[in-house]
Amino acid sequence: MQVELAKSAGFCFGVQRAVDTVYKQIEENSAEKIYTYGPIIHNEEVIKDMEKKGVEVILSEEELKQIKSGIVIIRSHGVPKRICDLLDENGVRYVDATCPFVKKIHRIVEEKSRDGYHIVIIGNREHPEVMGIEGWAQGPATIIQTEEEARAFELVPESEKVCVVAQTTFNYNKFKDLVEIISEKRYDIIVLNTICNATKERQEEAYDIAKRVDAMIVIGDKRSSNTQKLFEICSNACADTYYIQTLGDLNMNQLRSVETVGITAGASTPNKIIEEVQNNVRINF
């Protein structure tokens, strides 16, 4: 059997940076309580390891309000501006591990909304990154995820122009389609494609491999939106696509009759898990 591992599988730059930030804080500030605002990445294995080292995950804004000391780490998804303001007001030290690509969107949104643009965020409104981006708008902001929503979009009366940005992990083709619908309305519009290249490259490579192989394995946490998207893309190109969190979820019997297997993994999947899956598939066949 031939096994092909995607070069772009696993941690992206922003996630690696956020994870490294947590371990660096554990090392340098062992006397202080360390918190992360939300799980630092969507990966149970990594979170468990950090918890063992004393890191506590804060799950809500209410909980965050109670924190008066220690260090709070902001994850790569970023947060709304009011969270930074809250921490400043409470005098709590925080380390901002927001991915620089997401931070750039915050700056665009803040600046353009101040200049009178109605902000449109193409993305999933349930995703913390999108909530964070929305939280930097200084005026009207609309989140659009579907074609129906794009068709129904109207500028608020006090705005004349619109600035479109995207969730970094959004599917590029869907983004293009939604932008096309909004553009038909002939508003004064600027479109900034803020989809991260790491995501696009991972998606393109995954699709490319999935087209060629008999079976495809997508590794990542079930809650990771970019892994879900990878799974969707691979499933469209290869009917035998399996979504697993760890090696334990892989049913080797399903791979018995195939000759070629492709492997890819979401942005929050540690290398250790990817290697484990790859080695076991290779050994077993």
Q: Which residues are at the interface with ligand F3S (CB under 6 A)?
A: 12-15, 76, 99, 101-102, 168-169, 196, 198-199, 267
CB of 196 to ligand F3S, least distance (A): 3
CB of 8 to ligand F3S, least distance (A): 10
Please state, as a whole number, how many other Cβ atoms lie within 10 Å of the Cβ of residue 176: 13
Nearest residue to ligand F3S by CB is 14
Q: How many residues does the structure list for the chain? A: 285
CB of 146 to ligand F3S, least distance (A): 22
* Residues contacting 6, CB < 8 A, separation 6+: 202, 205, 206, 209, 262, 263, 264, 265
Please state, as a whole number, how many other Cβ atoms lie within 10 Å of the Cβ of residue 106: 21
Binding residues: 12, 42, 77, 99, 127, 168, 196, 224-226, 268
User: Is 129 an active-site residue?
Assistant: yes
Please state, as a whole number, how many other Cβ atoms lie within 10 Å of the Cβ of residue 284: 11
Residues 28, 111, 129, 148: which is the catalytic one?
Answer: 129
Q: Which is nearer to ligand F3S, 87 or 198 (CB)?
A: 198
Q: Which is nearer to ligand F3S, 77 or 118 (CB)?
A: 77
Nearest Cα residue to 87 out of 36, 51, 19 = 36
CB of 194 to ligand F3S, least distance (A): 8
Binding residues for [4Fe-4S] cluster: 12, 99, 196
Q: Which is nearer to ligand F3S, 121 or 261 (CB)?
A: 121
CB of 41 to ligand F3S, least distance (A): 9
Binding residues for isopentenyl diphosphate: 42, 77, 127, 224-226, 268
**Which residues are known catalytic residues?**
129
